[in-house]
Structure 1
Amino acid sequence: MSTSEVRTERIGSTLLITIDRPRARNAVNAAVATGLAAALDELEADPALRAGILTGADGTFSAGMDLKAALRGESPEVDGRGFGGLTEAEPVKPLIAAVEGWAMGGGFELALACDLIIAAEDATFGLPEVKRGLIAAGGGVIRLPKRIPYHLAMEFLLTGEPVTGRRAGELGLVNRVTATGDATAVALQLAEQLALNAPLALAAVKKIVRAAGGMPEAEAFAVQREEMGALMTSADVREGMTAFAERRAPQWIGE
């Protein structure tokens, strides 16, 4: 499903989601937010799709919130899903950000909402909201201090100054740093690697990691026991064990 502002393309078992407003540096307006939400629904609904990749058209990831649209009264949020229809959503399937060019403000926050980030070496990451009297309210203030050391996160948040993709790699913010123009290709390779694994297990990992971040360890282990119980009765676990014994690649059915 594609709209004028968000395009989707199926590549094997991966859904490539592209914000397509290059003249506005792929800034997020109401149409982009609803388009991204619809694209995530498409990803989740199709069992043949194992992972999603989020990127932007024409060498720019996203410049963040469309300030002109906001001044006209447009909301860049979707109820229950947050900024861009993503930052407060909880996709079950893995989502990879492929970042070229600018990932500023809300654009950076969209990347932070993904499970993995691939960035071109000359990409630009920043949270400049304080320069406009705002804060990074699309998850930046909440998520960034959990991803990198406190003082480094506070430098982003308090100065509003950007860093390159190469520096983001040094800080541990991204999984891979690529040559300019290669971020999506590398993200597709990573998505193919994820697709070799059991979809139920991938979903369980995401659920447990989310739970563990906001509760005591004892409660997190309880969540994990519940997920493990469900996995152990699944057809995919039987298939995984059988495939190992028979020295062949497993054929996952997601059940």
Structure 2
Amino acid sequence: MSSGIEFVKDGHIARVTLNNPKALNAISPAMDDALAAAWIEIDDDPDIWVAVLSATPGKAFCSGADVSGGTDRDGRMALGGGLTGVGGPQYHLRTPLIAAVHGYVIGGGFELAMCADMIVAADDAQFFIPEVKAGIIGEAGILHRAVRRLPHHIAMGMILTGDRLPAAKAEQFGLVNEVVAPDDLAAAAERWAGKVIACAPRAVQAAKHATLTGLGMRLEDALTTRYEPIEAYAGTKDQQEGLAAFAEKRKPVWTGH
């Protein structure tokens, strides 16, 4: 896949790489198109059980939307191929997504990382929301996500001052799952992906769907809601394999069926 995105399938893992380093991996409309196509292909392929989003080595994971041609996105899909819900319709990725970030994780790039289910960060990663320092404020998606992902005063400090949050602090505040040396970032993402594919893929997707769907509900409603992917998983071959493996004290062999 071209247009500033590399897309590779490797067994049960899909690797999506932002490849626009000269522009700090800012996402152009062409890159958004490529990302949108990648997410759809990933969700449509039953052999893909997890996706990893990273960026080519350089100063930044992603600096957000490429606004070199202006800020009007002409009704295109949301930033990040639809994941953010900013600037267009939101795409809800069923497949678990791991973001592996390094360097500057700026604005919309920060928001894109927060759309992942897990974040692994190089120790040189710096997260920040620079809008107020630049005197710019537009779509507010990143503000809403940051104040939900971080302690209130930490998020507000970043939002109202443009201060940067280094990777070590991001781990301390629960924003990222792990911080590693830059040379170990790819291996760390691979390790987390391996943890996901060691689990039953349809159960993982059902768990993600139920968790995120229930997140916007009152706890009482979330507890009493029936989630279609969980119900559809009942009686599948993988569920039966999980029960059999537990009884036989062996590792299960998942097929995705």
Contact residue 47 and residue 256 of structure 2 kept, 8 A: no
Task: Return the alpha-carbon distance in structure 2 between the equivalents of residues 136 and 186 of structure 1.
Answer: 34
Distance 1:226 1:190, change over 3 A: same
Q: CA RMSD in A?
A: 1.9
Q: Deviations over 1:45-91 (max 9, x none)?
A: 211111111111123311112121335x555x743xx2121213211
Identity of aligned residues (%): 37
Query: How far apart are residue 227 of structure 1 and its match?
Result: 4.7
Task: Return the alpha-carbon distance in structure 2 between the equivalents of residues 104 and 215 of structure 1.
Answer: 30
Among 152, 160, 177, the residue aligned to 2:179: 177
Q: Does 1:94 align with 2:58?
A: no
Q: 3-state DSSP class of the match of 2:156?
A: helix
Q: Deviations over 1:193-213 (max 9, x none)?
A: 100111111111111121222
* Structure 1 segment 151-162 matched on structure 2, within 5 A: 151-162=153-164
Contact residue 136 and residue 157 of structure 1 kept, 8 A: no
Q: 3-state DSSP class of the match of 1:251?
A: coil
Distance 1:230 1:182, change over 3 A: same
Contact residue 135 and residue 141 of structure 1 kept, 8 A: no
Q: 3-state DSSP class of the match of 1:28?
A: coil
Q: Where does residue 12 of structure 1 map in the other structure? A: 11
* Structure 1 segment 191-202 matched on structure 2, within 5 A: 191-202=193-204
Q: Does 1:219 align with 2:215?
A: no
Task: Return the alpha-carbon distance in structure 2 between the equivalents of residues 102 and 12 of structure 1.
Answer: 30
Distance 1:162 1:18, change over 3 A: same
TM superposition score normalised by structure 1 = 0.90
Distance 1:9 1:132, change over 3 A: same
Distance 1:130 1:9, change over 3 A: same
Query: How far apart are residue 121 of structure 1 and its match?
Result: 0.7
Query: Which sections of structure 1, spanning at least 5 residues, go unmatched?
Result: none
Distance 1:118 1:138, change over 3 A: farther
Which one-letter code corresponds to 1:87 in the other structure?
Answer: T
Which one-letter code corresponds to 2:104 in the other structure?
Answer: W
Query: How far apart are residue 228 of structure 1 and its match?
Result: 4.0
Q: Where does residue 147 of structure 1 map in the other structure? A: 149
Q: 3-state DSSP class of the match of 1:117?
A: strand
Task: Return the alpha-carbon distance in structure 1 between the equivalents of residues 3 and 228 of structure 2.
Answer: 42
Query: How far apart are residue 185 of structure 1 and its match?
Result: 1.6
Q: 3-state DSSP class of the match of 1:185?
A: helix
TM superposition score normalised by structure 2 = 0.90
Task: Return the alpha-carbon distance in structure 1 between the equivalents of residues 138 and 153 of structure 2.
Answer: 16
Q: Where does residue 68 of structure 1 map in the other structure? A: 68
Among 188, 192, 205, the residue aligned to 1:186: 188
Q: Does 1:116 align with 2:118?
A: yes
Q: Where does residue 39 of structure 1 map in the other structure? A: 38
Q: 3-state DSSP class of the match of 2:69?
A: helix
Query: How far apart are residue 6 of structure 1 and its match?
Result: 0.5
Contact residue 105 and residue 128 of structure 2 kept, 8 A: yes
Distance 1:160 1:213, change over 3 A: same
Which one-letter code corresponds to 2:17 in the other structure?
Answer: T
Which one-letter code corresponds to 2:66 in the other structure?
Answer: D
Contact residue 102 and residue 125 of structure 1 kept, 8 A: yes
* Structure 1 segment 119-138 matched on structure 2, within 5 A: 119-135=121-137, 137=139
Contact residue 211 and residue 223 of structure 1 kept, 8 A: no
Query: How far apart are residue 138 of structure 1 and its match?
Result: 6.2
Contact residue 87 and residue 138 of structure 1 kept, 8 A: no
Aligned residue pairs total 250
Which one-letter code corresponds to 2:189 in the other structure?
Answer: A
